[in-house]
């Protein structure tokens, strides 16, 4: 695939993921605020306004988290743009997923002043998280695996 095709692929993946993230988050929060209650031994849906980052780090550091998110998005975009010729499609896919997760949380921090978290694991002491967080974690883990496989090969 040529550079233009890869860029379009990346942009479409990113747009799809960000739309999916924001759309599903809106549905989840609207339903939770309207009284939806889900709880079982594995997970609960529990709406929480998070003013920090993962694991309650940097609470009430909105501006710093906005700046860090913007820097991360610019660096990821530059990485993709500068390596379009050699970057594999699966790497584009996972960078788009990671970027969409960062952008979803960034959007909420800018617009709402906090991030909306709602998934709570009941079988382990773990912070409440959202779809953006899932995208970020899956993207990071997949990219680490891709890097490790490339180095091993």
Catalytic residues, which ones? 117, 133
Report how far residue 58's alpha carbon sits from residue 62's, in angstroms, rounded to the nearest whole number. 8
> Cα angle at 103 between 97 and 108, to 5 degrees?
135
Query: 11-44 burial string, b = 16+ CB within 10 Å, else e?
Result: eebbeebbeebbeebeebbeebeeeeeeeeeeee
CA distances from 81 to 6, 8, 55, 87, 138 (A): 9, 11, 32, 9, 22
**Radius of gyration over alpha carbons of the chain, in Å?**
17
Phi, psi at 85, each rounded to 5°: -65, -40
Q: State both tokens at 122.
A: 């009941």
Q: State both tokens at 21.
A: 């993230």
């Amino acid at each position: 695939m040529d550079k233009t095709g890869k860029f379009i692929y990346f942009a479409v993946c990113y747009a799809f993921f960000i739309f999916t993230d924001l759309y599903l988050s809106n549905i989840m929060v609207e339903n939770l605020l309207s009284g939806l209650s889900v709880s079982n031994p594995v997970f609960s849906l529990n709406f929480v306004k998070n003013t920090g980052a993962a694991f309650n780090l940097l609470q009430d550091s909105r501006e710093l988290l906005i700046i860090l998110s913007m820097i991360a998005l610019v660096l990821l975009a530059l990485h993709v743009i500068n390596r379009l010729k050699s970057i594999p499609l699966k790497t584009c896919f996972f960078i788009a997923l990671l970027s969409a997760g960062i952008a979803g949380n960034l959007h909420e921090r800018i617009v709402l002043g906090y991030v909306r978290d709602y998934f709570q694991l009941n079988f382990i002491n773990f912070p409440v998280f959202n779809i953006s967080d899932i995208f970020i974690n899956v993207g990071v883990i997949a990219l680490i695996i891709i890097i490790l496989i490339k180095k091993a090969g």
